[in-house]
Structure 1
Amino acid sequence: MIKCEDVLIIGSGVAALQLATMIDTELNVKIITKSSLRKSNSYLAQGGIAAAVGPGDSPEKHYIDTLEAGAFHSDEAAAREIVQEASDLISGLGPIFDRDGEGHLQLGLEGAHTEKRIVHSGGDATGQHVIEALLAKLTPHVQIEENIFAYELLMDHDQNRCIGVKGKSADGSIRHCFARHTIIATGGCGQLYSFTSNAQTVTGDGIAVAYLAGAAVADMEFVQFHPTLLYQNGMAKGLVSEAVRGAGAVLVTEDGTPVMRGIHPLEDLAPRHIVSQTMFDLIQSGQHVYLDISKIDQFEKRFPSITALCAKNGISISDGRIPVAPGSHFLMGGIKTDLKGQTTVAGLYAIGEAACTGFHGANRLASNSLLEGLFQGKRLAEWINNHDDQTSITPDLKRTSIYKKLPVPDIQTLQASMMANVGIVRSKEGLTRQKQWFDSFQLNEVRDLDAYTISELTGFLMGVTASLITKAALKRTESRGGHFRADFPFEDDQHWLKKTIVQTNKGEVRVKDERIKAAIKH
Structure 2
Amino acid sequence: MPENGVIIIGSGIAALTTAYYLHEHKNVTIFTKTKKEESNSWLAQGGVAASVSQEDDWRCHFDDTMTAGCHHNDEKAVELLVREGPKRIRELINAGLSFDVNQDGILHLGQEGAHSKRRILHAGGDQTGRTIVSFLLEKLMGRVTIVEGEYVIELLVENGRCVGIKTKNQLGEISCYYASAVVLAAGGCAGMYAFSSNASTVTGDGIALAYRAGAVIADVEFIQFHPTMLFVDGKAVGLISEAVRGEGAVLVTEDGRRMMEHVHPLKDLAPRDIVARAIHDEMSKGHRVYLDISAIPSYRERFPTMANLCAEHGIDMETGRLPIVPGAHFLMGGVLVNDCGQTSIQELYAVGEVACTGVHGANRLASNSLLEGIVFGARAAEAIRRETAPPTPLRKKTNDIHSIKRGVNDLPEIPTIQTIMSIYAGIVRHEQGLQRAKQWFEQFPLSDFVNGSLDDFSIEEITVIHMLLTGWLITTSALERTESRGGHYRTDYPFEREQWRQRRIRRTKKELTVTV
TM-score of the alignment, normalized to the shorter chain, above 0.5: yes
Q: What is the rounded CA distance, in whole Å, between the counterparts of 2:338 and 2:324 in structure 1? A: 37
Q: What is the rounded CA distance, in whole Å, between the counterparts of 1:274 and 1:177 in structure 2? A: 44
- Residue in structure 2 matched with residue 144 of structure 1 by the alignment: 146
**1:45-444 to 2 correspondence within 5 Å?**
45-94=44-93, 95-138=97-140, 140-156=142-158, 159-399=159-399, 402-406=402-406, 407-444=410-447
**Contact 2:230 2:239 (C-alpha < 8 Å) held by counterparts:** yes
Shift of 1:141: 4.0
Secondary structure of the residue aligned to 2:455 is: helix
Q: What is the rounded CA distance, in whole Å, between the counterparts of 2:104 and 2:443 in structure 1? A: 62
- Residue in structure 2 matched with residue 17 of structure 1 by the alignment: 16
Q: What is the rounded CA distance, in whole Å, between the counterparts of 1:226 and 1:119 in structure 2? A: 19
Q: Deviations over 1:132-174 (max 9, x none)?
A: 1111111544101001111111121xx2111111111111111
Q: What is the rounded CA distance, in whole Å, between the counterparts of 1:140 and 1:290 in structure 2? A: 46
Shift of 1:319: 1.3
Q: What is the rounded CA distance, in whole Å, between the counterparts of 2:295 and 2:25 in structure 1? A: 54
Q: What is the rounded CA distance, in whole Å, between the counterparts of 2:271 and 2:52 in structure 1? A: 22
Q: Deviations over 1:59-117 (max 9, x none)?
A: 00000000000001000111011100111111122241000111110010000000100
For the pair 1:482 / 2:501, whether they are aligned, the reply is: no
Structure 2 letter corresponding to 1:496? W
Q: What is the rounded CA distance, in whole Å, between the counterparts of 2:237 and 2:423 in structure 1? A: 19
TM-score of the pair, normalised by structure 1: 0.94
Cα RMSD, aligned residues only: 1.5
Secondary structure of the residue aligned to 1:388 is: coil
Q: What is the rounded CA distance, in whole Å, between the counterparts of 1:152 and 1:241 in structure 2? A: 35
**Contact 2:403 2:455 (C-alpha < 8 Å) held by counterparts:** no
Q: What is the rounded CA distance, in whole Å, between the counterparts of 1:488 and 1:416 in structure 2? A: 23
For the pair 1:506 / 2:510, whether they are aligned, the reply is: yes
Q: Deviations over 1:164-186 (max 9, x none)?
A: 11111111111111111011000
Structure 2 letter corresponding to 1:382? E
Shift of 1:393: 3.3
Secondary structure of the residue aligned to 1:328 is: strand
Question: CA separation of 1:349/1:421 partners in 2, compared to 1, >3 Å: closer, same or farther?
Answer: same
Shift of 1:403: 3.8
More deviation, 290-299/442-451: 442-451
**Contact 1:21 1:137 (C-alpha < 8 Å) held by counterparts:** yes
More deviation, 429-438/172-181: 172-181
**Contact 2:189 2:203 (C-alpha < 8 Å) held by counterparts:** yes
In structure 2, the gaps of 5 or more residues are none
Structure 2 letter corresponding to 1:499? R
Secondary structure of the residue aligned to 1:311 is: helix
TM-score of the pair, normalised by structure 2: 0.96
Q: What is the rounded CA distance, in whole Å, between the counterparts of 2:443 and 2:221 in structure 1? A: 21
Structure 1 letter corresponding to 2:493? F
Secondary structure of the residue aligned to 1:327 is: strand
Q: What is the rounded CA distance, in whole Å, between the counterparts of 1:477 and 1:430 in structure 2? A: 14
- Residue in structure 2 matched with residue 461 of structure 1 by the alignment: 466
- Residue in structure 2 matched with residue 471 of structure 1 by the alignment: 476
